A = this chain, B = another copy of it.
Amino acid sequence: MSKRAADALAAAEVIVGYDTYLGLIADFLPGKKIIGTGMTQEIDRCQAAVEEAMAGRRVAVVSSGDPGIYGMAGLVLELVFKYPPALQPVVDIVPGISAIGAAAALLGAPVMHDFAVISLSDLLTPWETIVKRVEMAAAGDFVIALYNPKSTRRISHIEQVREIVLRHRPATTPVGIVHHASRKDESVVLSDLENFTREHIDMFSLVIIGNSRTYTAAGRMITPRGYSL
């Protein structure tokens, strides 16, 4: 967490967030009004935050990773902009350490070159759109980071991704899987494009597929920038 984020939490009168994330910032909670709800109620949660702010209170909405990368920043702004300009509270977005950055640091240096980030969740995005993006990212030889790679309900999507990328890259292309990056139960697995879907992957995993030049050494995954060394 950055000093700026800590300062924002300390200054808040109301803290709003998914219960699990509130548990990670327990030190900041005493003496404040807390609004925590379950994972699928993010609209209600952000709406409550906006209403608290419109009532004149200083509110912090907590998002895991970077709130500006698939995080709560967009939902808060969208809800704010439904009100007339004169009523809209000021929204300050505090950037954080992204899940891809946290995962990359644990794996080595897989994101030293151009990359594409794709969420495999089809709750809000048609699966055809996601497939098209995977195809484009594979064809462009991007390092590919997959958010929300697999859920208990959705297990075949990651297999389709594997098949698409295998059409463009060798089966030996390194693939890193990180669970719970930067949490106390973080774990890292290094695999390859042929085999990675046999590893445990769930909604708390982040998967990074190397580009055609990515290699592994001493248990680290490295995508060379292209220096002559």
Contact = CB atoms under 8 A, between A and B. Distances in A.
B115 A78 contact: no
Interface in A205-229: 217-218, 220, 222-227, 229
Interface stretch (A26-34, A54-62, A98-106, A190-198): A98-106
A202 to B, nearest CB: 20
Interface stretch (A14-22, A116-124, A152-160): A116-124
Contacts of A110: 68
Contacts of A85: 218
Contacts of A132: 139-141
Contact of A125 (B109, B117, B226): B226
Given A116-B116, A119-B114, A95 B104 contact: yes
Interface string A88-102: 100001111110111
A38 interface: no
A82 interface: yes
Nearest to A106: B93
A77 B226 contact: no
Nearest to A125: B226
Given A77-B109, A95-B97, A139-B136, A117 B118 contact: no
B88 A96 contact: no
Contacts of A118: 114
Nearest to A76: B109
A130 to B, nearest CB: 8
B78 A229 contact: yes
A75 interface: yes
A132 B140 CA distance: 6
Interface of A: 1-3, 6, 43, 66-71, 73-79, 81-82, 85, 88, 93-98, 100-102, 104-106, 108-119, 124-125, 129-130, 132-133, 135-137, 139-142, 182, 217-218, 220, 222-227, 229
